[in-house]
């Protein structure tokens, strides 16, 4: 029987809210068993890019990354945010190690092929290095991944954090029974974005298509949902979406994804 592994992705406005992030990290530090944390940080990177006079461009929730913006997201994701998270987790006696995909060759990617949109230095994942990640887990270190990957040719790439979480979950499902948890500021996928109580508790592939066609799900939620279903198709045991309290409160409502 495979050992259980939780892969938890934190993003959205939680990253920008120091109080909410601290509360989440305290709860994360108390999660029993093997675990991996993946964090985003797009909003913080956008704020700093704007301060520097660089206006980030987005298409269907995905950032177009030119050379200047790649430098910014690398500094923010792999530097400021990642190390602040690691520092807090160490405070809470959680022996975490901060990683990009380039560290220990954990996540290899390639520059996204131009079809309709040129996403610049955006990366699509090719492979997860299970061996390297297992070294950390087996030595009681908690991997904390930011949203930077590499192509093994010296080029760093900006990769959607939801995608990274999904790809790690798929890769590690060969060795573990994986539960993938996406945490953000909402209580789950909402029928009405202005009503926090309108959580859609179960979404299967057919309902997802219907919600997408009716514009209930749009923009930034689309990549997250696509990654959820891809993870389920590739062997991940369970995928849920909810606010950060889902990792500590059994009574908290959330959305479960099913094929």
Q: Report the pLDDT value the prediction gives residue 236, as an integer from 0 to 100.
A: 97
Average pLDDT over residues 222-244: 93
- What does the alpha-carbon distance between residue 220 and residue 218 come to, in Å, rounded to a whole number? 6
pLDDT at 218 exceeding the cut of 90: no
The three state secondary structure string of the chain is CCEEEEEEEECHHHCCCHHHHHHHHHHHHCCCCEEEEEECCHHHHHHHHHHCCCCCEEECCEEEECHHHHHHHHHHHHHHHHHHHHHHHHHCCCCEEEECCCHHHCEEEEECCCCCCCCECEEEEEEECHHHHHHHHHCCCEEEECCEEECCCCCEEECCHHHHHHHHHHHHCCCEEEEEEEECCCCCCECCCCCCCCECCEECHHHHHHHHHCCCCCCCHHHHHHHHHHHHHCCCCEEEEECHHHHCCCCCCCEEECC
Q: Report the pLDDT value the prediction gives residue 128, as an integer from 0 to 100.
A: 98
Could you give the percent of the chain with pLDDT greater than 70?
A: 98
- What does the alpha-carbon distance between residue 223 and residue 225 come to, in Å, rounded to a whole number? 6
pLDDT at 60 exceeding the cut of 70: no
Residue keyed to tokens 């909410």: 20
What does the pLDDT look like over 152-164, one tens digit per residue? Answer: 999 999 998 999 9
What does the pLDDT look like over 66-103, one tens digit per residue? Answer: 999 999 999 999 999 999 999 999 999 999 999 999 99
Total residues found in the chain within this entry: 259
Average pLDDT over residues 56-66: 76
Average pLDDT over residues 50-69: 81
Q: Report the pLDDT value the prediction gives residue 113, as an integer from 0 to 100.
A: 94
* Position with higher pLDDT, 237 vs 219: 237
Binned at pLDDT 50, 70 and 90, residue 233 comes out as very high
Give the residue from 176, 181, 156 showing the smallest Cα distance to 166: 181
Q: Report the pLDDT value the prediction gives residue 255, as an integer from 0 to 100.
A: 96
Average pLDDT, the chain: 93
Could you give the percent of the chain with pLDDT greater than 90?
A: 77
Tokens of 225: 């949902």
CB-based contact 185:13 (threshold 8 Å) = yes
Average pLDDT over residues 205-224: 87
- What does the alpha-carbon distance between residue 108 and residue 129 come to, in Å, rounded to a whole number? 8
- What does the alpha-carbon distance between residue 161 and residue 169 come to, in Å, rounded to a whole number? 12
What does the pLDDT look like over 7-44, one tens digit per residue? Answer: 999 987 888 899 999 999 999 999 999 999 999 886 88
Classify domain 3-185+243-252 by CATH architecture.
3-Layer(aba) Sandwich (3.40)
Average pLDDT over residues 44-56: 84
What does the pLDDT look like over 186-199, one tens digit per residue? Answer: 999 999 988 989 99
CB-based contact 171:235 (threshold 8 Å) = no
Q: Report the pLDDT value the prediction gives residue 61, as an integer from 0 to 100.
A: 62
What does the pLDDT look like over 163-193, one tens digit per residue? Answer: 999 999 999 999 999 999 999 989 999 999 8
């Amino acid at each position: 029987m495979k050992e259980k592994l939780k892969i938890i992705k934190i993003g959205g406005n939680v990253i920008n809210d120091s109080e909410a992030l601290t509360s989440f990290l305290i709860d994360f530090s108390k999660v029993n068993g093997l675990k991996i944390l993946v964090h985003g940080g797009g909003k913080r990177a956008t704020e700093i890019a704007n301060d520097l006079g660089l206006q980030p461009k987005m298409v269907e929730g995905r950032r177009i990354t030119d050379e200047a913006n790649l430098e910014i997201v690398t500094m923010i994701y792999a530097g400021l945010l990642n190390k602040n998270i690691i520092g807090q987790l160490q405070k809470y006696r959680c022996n975490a190690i901060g990683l990009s995909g380039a560290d220990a060759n954990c996540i290899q990617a390639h520059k996204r092929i131009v079809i309709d949109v040129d996403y610049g230095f955006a990366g699509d994942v090719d492979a997860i290095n299970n061996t390297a990640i297992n070294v950390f887990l087996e030595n009681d270190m908690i991997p904390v991944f930011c949203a930077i990957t590499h192509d093994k040719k010296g080029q760093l790439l900006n990769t959607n954090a939801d995608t990274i979480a999904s790809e790690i979950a798929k890769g590690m499902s060969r060795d573990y029974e994986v539960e993938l948890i996406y945490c953000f500021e909402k209580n789950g996928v909402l029928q009405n974005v202005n009503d926090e109580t309108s959580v859609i508790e179960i979404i299967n592939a057919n309902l997802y298509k219907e919600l997408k066609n009716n514009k209930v799900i749009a923009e930034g939620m689309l990549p997250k949902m696509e990654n959820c279903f891809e993870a389920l198709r590739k062997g991940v045991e369970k995928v849920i979406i909810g606010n950060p309290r889902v990792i500590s409160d059994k009574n908290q409502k959330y959305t479960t994804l099913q094929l």
